[in-house]
Structure 1
Amino acid sequence: MMSNQNQTRKILLLSANPRGSSQLRLGEEMREIKEGLKRSKHRDQYFIGTAEAVRYRDIHRAILEYEPHIIHFSGHGTGEKGLVFEDESGQVKLVDAVALAGLFQLFADQIECVVLNACFSEYQALGISQHINYVVGMSQEIGDKAAIEFAVGFYDALGADKGYEFAYKLGCSLIRVAGIAENLTPQLMTKIDTKSLNASAEATTIYIERPPIEAKCCEAILQPGALIRLRSPQKMGKTLLLEKVINHAREQGYRTAKLDLKLADINILTDLKTFLQWICVNISDSLELEPQLDQYWQEVFGLNKNCTRYFQKYLLAVTETPLVLAIDNFERLFAYPEIFPQFCLLLRGWYEAAKQGDKIGNIWKKLRLVVVHSTEAYPSLDINHSPFNVGLAIELPEFNLQQVELLAKQYELADKLGQQDLSELMGLVGGHPDLIQQAVAYLKNPQATIEELLQLAPTEQGIFSDHLRQQLWHLQHNSQLELGYKKVVIANAPVRLDTEIAFKLHSLGLVKLSGNDCIPSYELYRQYFTVRLE
Structure 2
Amino acid sequence: MSSSPRKKKTILFLAANPKNSTPLRLGKEVQEISDALQRSKKRDKFQLEEEWAVTHTDMRRAVLDYNPQIVHFSGHGAGEDGLALEDETGLIKLVSVQALAALFEVFMDQVECVVLNACYSEVQANAIARHIQYVIGMNKAVGDNAAREFAVGFYDALGAGKSIEFAYKLGCVSISMAGIPEELTPVLRKKSDFSDARVSDILEESSSAVANVLSLPSPPVPFLNLDNPEGSVSLDCQLYIDRLPIESDCYQAINKPGALIRIKAPRKMGKTSLLQRILHHSREQGHQTAYLNFQSADGNFLSNLDQLLQWFCGEITNELNLEDRVAEYWKQGMGSKQKCGNYFQRYLLTTINTPLTLGLDEVDRVFQYPQVAQEFFGLLRAWHEKGKNEPAWKKLRLVISHSKEVYIPLNINQSPFNVGLPIDLPEFNHQEIVELVQKHQLRWSARQIEQLIGMVDGHPYLLRKALYEIARGYLTLEEFLQTAPTEEGIYGDHLRYHLINLTAEPNLEAAMKQVIASSVPVRLEANLAFTLRSRGLVKLRGNDVIPLCNLCRLYFKDRLGVR
TM-score (structure 1 length as normaliser): 0.58
SS at match of 2:242: coil
Task: Report if the CA contact (8 A) 2:238-2:439 is conserved.
Answer: no
* Alpha-carbon shift at residue 296 of structure 1 (Å): 2.9
* Alpha-carbon shift at residue 468 of structure 1 (Å): 1.7
- Does 2:245 align with 1:245? no
- Does 2:407 align with 1:374? no
Say if 1:205 and 1:520 are closer, same or farther in 2 by CA, change over 3 A: farther
- Does 2:501 align with 1:502? no
SS at match of 1:317: helix
Say if 1:431 and 1:446 are closer, same or farther in 2 by CA, change over 3 A: same
- Does 2:545 align with 1:518? yes
SS at match of 1:424: helix
Task: Report if the CA contact (8 A) 2:539-2:548 is conserved.
Answer: yes
Listed one character per residue, the Cα deviations across residues 92-126 of structure 1 (whole Å, up to 9, x for unaligned) are xxxxxxxxxxxxxxxxxxxxxxxxxxxxxxxxxxx
**Could you tell me which residue of structure 2 aligns to residue 481 of structure 1?**
508
- Does 2:489 align with 1:462? yes
Say if 1:517 and 1:231 are closer, same or farther in 2 by CA, change over 3 A: closer
Letter in 2 for 1:442: E
- Does 2:419 align with 1:390? yes
Aligned 1:61-460 pairs, distance under 5 A: 206-337=239-370, 339-356=372-389, 361-375=390-404, 378-413=407-442, 415=443, 417-460=444-487
Say if 1:527 and 1:350 are closer, same or farther in 2 by CA, change over 3 A: same
Distance 2:557 2:483 in 1: 15
Say if 1:489 and 1:287 are closer, same or farther in 2 by CA, change over 3 A: same
Distance 1:265 1:205 in 2: 35
* Alpha-carbon shift at residue 381 of structure 1 (Å): 2.9
Say if 1:515 and 1:329 are closer, same or farther in 2 by CA, change over 3 A: closer
Distance 1:521 1:218 in 2: 29
303-312 or 265-274, which moves further after superposition? 265-274
Letter in 2 for 1:395: D
**Could you tell me which residue of structure 2 aligns to residue 158 of structure 1?**
none
Say if 1:337 and 1:376 are closer, same or farther in 2 by CA, change over 3 A: closer
Listed one character per residue, the Cα deviations across residues 448-469 of structure 1 (whole Å, up to 9, x for unaligned) are 1111111111111111122222
Say if 1:274 and 1:499 are closer, same or farther in 2 by CA, change over 3 A: closer
**Could you tell me which residue of structure 2 aligns to residue 65 of structure 1?**
none
Letter in 2 for 1:366: K
* Alpha-carbon shift at residue 371 of structure 1 (Å): 0.6
Task: Report if the CA contact (8 A) 2:289-2:320 is conserved.
Answer: yes
Distance 1:510 1:447 in 2: 27
Distance 2:523 2:351 in 1: 56
Relative CO higher for 1 or 2, CA cutoff 8 Å, sep ≥ 6?
Answer: 2
Distance 1:282 1:499 in 2: 36
* Alpha-carbon shift at residue 404 of structure 1 (Å): 1.7
SS at match of 2:417: coil
Distance 2:385 2:373 in 1: 18
Distance 1:270 1:244 in 2: 30
Distance 1:381 1:430 in 2: 35
**Could you tell me which residue of structure 2 aligns to residue 528 of structure 1?**
555
SS at match of 2:286: coil
395-404 or 466-475, which moves further after superposition? 466-475
Listed one character per residue, the Cα deviations across residues 322-346 of structure 1 (whole Å, up to 9, x for unaligned) are 1001111111222234632221121
Say if 1:478 and 1:376 are closer, same or farther in 2 by CA, change over 3 A: farther
* Alpha-carbon shift at residue 257 of structure 1 (Å): 0.8
* Alpha-carbon shift at residue 498 of structure 1 (Å): 3.0
Distance 1:316 1:518 in 2: 45
* Alpha-carbon shift at residue 205 of structure 1 (Å): 8.2
* Alpha-carbon shift at residue 446 of structure 1 (Å): 2.2
Letter in 2 for 1:405: V
Distance 1:200 1:400 in 2: 19
* Alpha-carbon shift at residue 376 of structure 1 (Å): 7.0
**Could you tell me which residue of structure 1 aligns to residue 39 of structure 2?**
none
Letter in 2 for 1:411: H
**Could you tell me which residue of structure 1 aligns to residue 183 of structure 2?**
none
Say if 1:197 and 1:314 are closer, same or farther in 2 by CA, change over 3 A: same
Distance 1:198 1:274 in 2: 37
Listed one character per residue, the Cα deviations across residues 177-210 of structure 1 (whole Å, up to 9, x for unaligned) are xxxxxxxxxxxxxxxxxxx999786787832110
SS at match of 2:401: strand
Task: Report if the CA contact (8 A) 1:398-1:433 is conserved.
Answer: yes
Listed one character per residue, the Cα deviations across residues 466-507 of structure 1 (whole Å, up to 9, x for unaligned) are 222233234223322221221221122222333433333333
315-324 or 491-500, which moves further after superposition? 491-500
Listed one character per residue, the Cα deviations across residues 123-173 of structure 1 (whole Å, up to 9, x for unaligned) are xxxxxxxxxxxxxxxxxxxxxxxxxxxxxxxxxxxxxxxxxxxxxxxxxxx
Letter in 2 for 1:430: D
278-287 or 378-387, which moves further after superposition? 378-387
SS at match of 1:438: helix
Distance 1:377 1:478 in 2: 20
Say if 1:279 and 1:503 are closer, same or farther in 2 by CA, change over 3 A: closer
Letter in 2 for 1:311: F
Say if 1:493 and 1:282 are closer, same or farther in 2 by CA, change over 3 A: closer
Letter in 1 for 2:394: K
Identity score, percent: 46
* Alpha-carbon shift at residue 380 of structure 1 (Å): 4.1
Letter in 2 for 1:230: I
* Alpha-carbon shift at residue 262 of structure 1 (Å): 1.5
Letter in 2 for 1:528: Y
Distance 1:338 1:382 in 2: 12
SS at match of 1:364: helix
Listed one character per residue, the Cα deviations across residues 288-307 of structure 1 (whole Å, up to 9, x for unaligned) are 21122244333311000000
TM-score (structure 2 length as normaliser): 0.56
Letter in 2 for 1:257: A
Task: Report if the CA contact (8 A) 2:360-2:399 is conserved.
Answer: yes
Task: Report if the CA contact (8 A) 1:329-1:373 is conserved.
Answer: yes
SS at match of 1:385: coil
* Alpha-carbon shift at residue 447 of structure 1 (Å): 4.5
SS at match of 1:496: coil
Distance 2:306 2:544 in 1: 45
310-319 or 264-273, which moves further after superposition? 264-273
Distance 1:279 1:447 in 2: 43
- Does 2:519 align with 1:492? yes
SS at match of 1:315: helix
Task: Report if the CA contact (8 A) 1:262-1:329 is conserved.
Answer: yes
